[in-house]
Structure 1
Amino acid sequence: MNSKADVIAVSSEKLVYPQDKSRYFGSVKKDKLRLVFSFYSPDGNEIAMPIASLSAYLKRDFPWVEVLLEPVLILRDAERYSPENYAKTIKAMNADVIAFSVMSPHWYPMEPYFEEIKKLMPDLPIVIGGYQAMLSQEQTIENPNVDYICVGDGEYAIGNVVEHLRGSKDGPADGLWEKLVDGDVYKTEPHQIGDLQALPFPDYDVFSKEDGFKDVNSSIFGPKGKLVLPVMTGRGCPYRCTYCCNTPILEGWRSKKEFLRKYDAEDMVTELERLRDEYGVGYFEFWDELFLSNLKFVRAFFEIYKERIGLPFSINSRVEVMNEEFCKTAADAGCHTIWFGIESGDEEYRAKMLGRKMKNQQVIDAADNCKKAGINRLTFNIVGAPLETADNMRETLKLNQRIAPEHFFFFPYIPLRGTPLYNIAKEEGLLSENKKNLHYLSAANDKQFTLNMKERPELLTAHEYNEICMEMLAFQEANNRLSYSDSESEENGETAAATVEDKSFTLTEAEPAAAENVPEQAAQMPPGAKEDTGFVKNIINFFGR
């Protein structure tokens, strides 16, 4: 299962595992082990691709594991999904282990849930995975209510967890860190799965309810009145944006050539056919970090998809490769929307601080190419990043006003540990170590925007930040018009608007937290992807100038 052919990095030299100090080794004596997956959803989305993949792997290779799902859907019912009531729900499920997939911005809102679960069920092991556990290992394992953390790819690791709990295999749960009874932490190397063909396609049944997917919110931006299903054709991104969690993960991979992983194009389309026919899918959202990470795959995929699937879809791309020919090819295959990051409208700041080297004219040209091809544009933008000025923020708004994308989206910057931009913020003394109510969506309920770092008044005051964010919000509300020609609402002469509500403010306590004890790291600024790199040039050459 954990052969080196399948896992790029596996522990080879490590301390002897003190099995007698394991609190949970062999603790489950039942024939059927019950595992509950969970994740936190502040925006209403009810699909988590990591859980879909883990569930598929367990169902294929561990039939004695019963997989259940109970996400924290705070937008559906704040009272039902309060930490206290959620813990009662988990207790009623009679779980043997609960595993959370946690994004870094969700860590502080989720901590009260771990605490309440342990109050009611002190003997229930809690496993944390996701970017939080991968990027912030020490912070995550130091939480007194956390027992295991998954520090890499999770499929083989979750299999090791259930075998560990059952006591069917001596030794540690490889791919995880385990907190022992004496408080020590036993650490194993992160798993890095290089061959996606060895894994089953994700399991979507885990998200379905009694009426199937009729009551499952599977997309924030997708068309109303039809099932929008998120899918992934691969994993990994070749770029090193300074703010992105992919950058430290890429740096940690022992075999860089294995980081960009894709399914076989024919196999992928066959799976999409199955999903379309079995679930009645009407629209696919490709959640790949970068859809264009493999040219051979893209060439084959577009041709087969057009012939055999025939459904509209959206992808995530980069402006450097969105030339006229590519946009025409994507549109011909059925591409409805391209999501792309602008991040900042100031070229110098974007290149120096964010590692994004494209020029504003490239952004404008890419947006125009999409429009000519009949593809909608959805832009991502970051505000309140380290050393950003008020003028930088205004340039971001100005550039988006110039291209007028069908959907404008902006995110308050969240410092992600392990990223170069986090290290710069730390070196500059900008981190607010006691701040737990991190705001990261661009539609705050109370229409109030606060910086997620310490104020640097000579660059950007808190008042200026809120004022410009309010201008961006006004533009968002006036500009956004992402619509779907065959949606039920448009048939009635209406536009299907995509709305997002952010309740992350209301889920954290205002009490000061203990100061973080983070080892100092040198602030590094890895070069961003340049326009003339081989990867970008190959894509441009393939789709034409």
Structure 2
Amino acid sequence: MRLLFIQPEFENIGIEYVSAALKREGHATDLVFIPKPFENTSFKVRDDDEGEENSKISKKIESFKPDVIGFSPFTSHFRWSVRKSEFIKQKFPEKFILFGGVHASFIPETTIEEESIDGVMVGEAEIAIVEFAKNFGDRAKLLKTPNLWIADKGEIRQNDLAPQIEMDDLPYPDKDLFYDIFPEYQKRSTFTFMASRGCPYQCTYCCNDIYFDLYKGQQTVRFQSPKYVVEQLKYFKNKFHFNRVDFMDDVLATKLERLEEMLPLYKKEIGLPWVCFMYPNRFTIQESVVKILKETGCEWMKVGVQSADEDYRRNILKRRETNDLVIKLADVCKKHKLSFSFDHILNMPGETTEGLIAAIRLYNRCKPVIVNFGSLIYLPKTQIVEHGLKYGEITEEDVRLINKGLDPMAGKSNI
């Protein structure tokens, strides 16, 4: 099978893994990458470049001759992706258009309603996409492909999920897919990588909240072995010559033992500075944790705080850390000269002026290198949507728009 991915704006690690899984089984993949399709952060598509984008897509379809066109959009990319799928279906009606990724997994029942979409791949796709490729020439078998939602005689067939893949069975992500098409990625000093999947927390604004339900009863956090992590990074370092690693994991580790096994090996074999995300809790404030991060090359810790109102954070966001823990983490980082930044979400439902003042005071006390402020984006079916309705920040019509991949809060603020 030949699958052509279409991706806007930035590198997509999920696509890289799916591509690698297909290539490992002898299938062919390619990519159309559109670096700047949006006017701003409100998901508004730039009309001035649409003709050029469509021409680029058409030429690649004509030259690569794919059997399947694949999209893996986040909510912010969904409407753009549907728009491109409509263009493709009109010009190349014989092509099978497959959607996967975060938004499609959130809300497959709405995604499959789009007339230009032939199938939706829900959840992790490395196992299911190989089955899909194997079954593609046989309609009867295709209809039974795991993870797949597909129309069948006027009804939508919803197949069960394939088992979660063993983390060390993952192929090396297909970085060439993006790097060959967009050489600017090869010029970057930082290499993005994920050594795990999932998150132990259920923050109400986050996509991981949905994956808890999707894979209920299964592991919520899974790690690649330290040896396999370092093996991959060593291969990519020799190939791409980057000088920093950005671990994109939701949580790099939950136990000191993993850090003690992985990080000294990383320092020995890779020896490059690195950055990571961490959650402010009783694990991360330990001297032993911050010390090993610093000693093995961590130069930046990105910490999600999101709100300084402890009651709000606990009751609305389902985050149980206290401001005292945030302060202790900041102090231990400063003691070991480890730079850190905070993330804070604005325009959350029920947010008060007092909460914002508390944030100013907390951040002034902690003095991170930078505080990254971002406005809340409502993701379909996340619990924060219910809070938005309760506080009157959004309406039922807004929820319908959110499910369609639109941003009803664009240009609005409750600050």
Q: Which interval holds the TM-score relative to the shorter structure? A: 0.7 to 0.9
Unaligned residue ranges in structure 1 (runs of 5+)? 1-32, 218-224, 441-448, 452-461, 466-545
Report if the CA contact (8 A) 2:126-2:165 is conserved.
Answer: no
Q: Give the 3-state SS of the residue equivalent to 1:115 in structure 2.
A: helix
Assess, with a 3 A threshold, how the Cα gap between structure 1 residues 416 and 115 changes in structure 2: closer, same or farther: same
Report if the CA contact (8 A) 1:233-1:286 is conserved.
Answer: yes
Q: Give the 3-state SS of the residue equivalent to 1:132 in structure 2.
A: helix
In the alignment, which of 373, 376, 381 is matched to residue 410 of structure 1? 373
In the alignment, which of 152, 162, 176 is matched to residue 191 of structure 1? 162
Shift in Å at residue 50 of structure 1?
A: 0.3
Q: Give the 3-state SS of the residue equivalent to 2:313 in structure 1.
A: helix
Over the matched positions of the two proteins, sequence identity in percent amounts to 25
Assess, with a 3 A threshold, how the Cα gap between structure 1 residues 367 and 384 changes in structure 2: closer, same or farther: same
Shift in Å at residue 137 of structure 1?
A: 1.5
Assess, with a 3 A threshold, how the Cα gap between structure 1 residues 72 and 294 changes in structure 2: closer, same or farther: farther
Assess, with a 3 A threshold, how the Cα gap between structure 1 residues 161 and 84 changes in structure 2: closer, same or farther: farther
Q: Distance in 2 between matches of 1:108 and 1:294?
A: 40
In the alignment, which of 244, 247, 250 is matched to residue 206 of structure 2? 244
1:29 paired residue number: none
Q: Distance in 2 between matches of 1:121 and 1:400?
A: 54
Structure 1 stretch 340-349 or stretch 157-166: which is displaced more? 157-166
Q: Give the 3-state SS of the residue equivalent to 1:319 in structure 2.
A: coil
Q: Give the 3-state SS of the residue equivalent to 2:244 in structure 1.
A: strand
Shift in Å at residue 156 of structure 1?
A: 1.6
Assess, with a 3 A threshold, how the Cα gap between structure 1 residues 348 and 79 changes in structure 2: closer, same or farther: closer
Assess, with a 3 A threshold, how the Cα gap between structure 1 residues 237 and 214 changes in structure 2: closer, same or farther: same
Shift in Å at residue 434 of structure 1?
A: 4.6
Q: Give the 3-state SS of the residue equivalent to 2:374 in structure 1.
A: strand
Report if the CA contact (8 A) 2:190-2:246 is conserved.
Answer: yes
Report if the CA contact (8 A) 2:123-2:214 is conserved.
Answer: no
Shift in Å at residue 157 of structure 1?
A: 1.8
Deviation per residue, 1:35-68 (Å, 9 max, x gap): 1112232xxxx3211011111111111x1x2210
Q: Distance in 1 between matches of 2:139 and 2:112?
A: 25
Shift in Å at residue 171 of structure 1?
A: 4.4
Q: Give the 3-state SS of the residue equivalent to 2:184 in structure 1.
A: coil
2:57 paired residue number: 90
Deviation per residue, 1:470-501 (Å, 9 max, x gap): xxxxxxxxxxxxxxxxxxxxxxxxxxxxxxxx
Q: Distance in 1 between matches of 2:229 and 2:114?
A: 39
Assess, with a 3 A threshold, how the Cα gap between structure 1 residues 83 and 125 changes in structure 2: closer, same or farther: farther
Q: Does 1:142 align with 2:113?
A: yes
Q: Residue type of the partner of 1:53?
A: Y
Q: Distance in 2 between matches of 1:67 and 1:105?
A: 24
1:56 paired residue number: 20
Q: Distance in 2 between matches of 1:40 and 1:378?
A: 27
Q: Give the 3-state SS of the residue equivalent to 2:4 in structure 1.
A: strand
Structure 1 stretch 237-246 or stretch 102-111: which is displaced more? 102-111
Q: Distance in 2 between matches of 1:92 and 1:377?
A: 45
Normalising by structure 1, we get a TM-score of 0.68
Superposition pairs for residues 527-542 of structure 1, below 5 Å? none
Deviation per residue, 1:421-457 (Å, 9 max, x gap): 22333455524245775289xxxxxxxx733xxxxxx
Deviation per residue, 1:157-182 (Å, 9 max, x gap): 222222233339824222110124x5
2:189 paired residue number: 227
Q: Residue type of the partner of 1:230?
A: T
Q: Give the 3-state SS of the residue equivalent to 1:416 in structure 2.
A: coil
Q: Give the 3-state SS of the residue equivalent to 2:381 in structure 1.
A: coil
Normalising by structure 2, we get a TM-score of 0.87
In the alignment, which of 312, 315, 322 is matched to residue 276 of structure 2? 315
Assess, with a 3 A threshold, how the Cα gap between structure 1 residues 166 and 200 changes in structure 2: closer, same or farther: same
In the alignment, which of 201, 209, 215 is matched to residue 184 of structure 2? 215
Q: Residue type of the partner of 2:223?
A: K
2:177 paired residue number: 206
Superposition pairs for residues 34-113 of structure 1, below 5 Å? 34-41=2-9, 46-61=10-25, 63=26, 65-74=27-36, 82-94=49-61, 95-113=66-84
| Greater helix share, structure number | 2
In the alignment, which of 129, 150, 154 is matched to residue 100 of structure 2? 129
Assess, with a 3 A threshold, how the Cα gap between structure 1 residues 238 and 138 changes in structure 2: closer, same or farther: same
Q: Distance in 2 between matches of 1:353 and 1:48?
A: 30
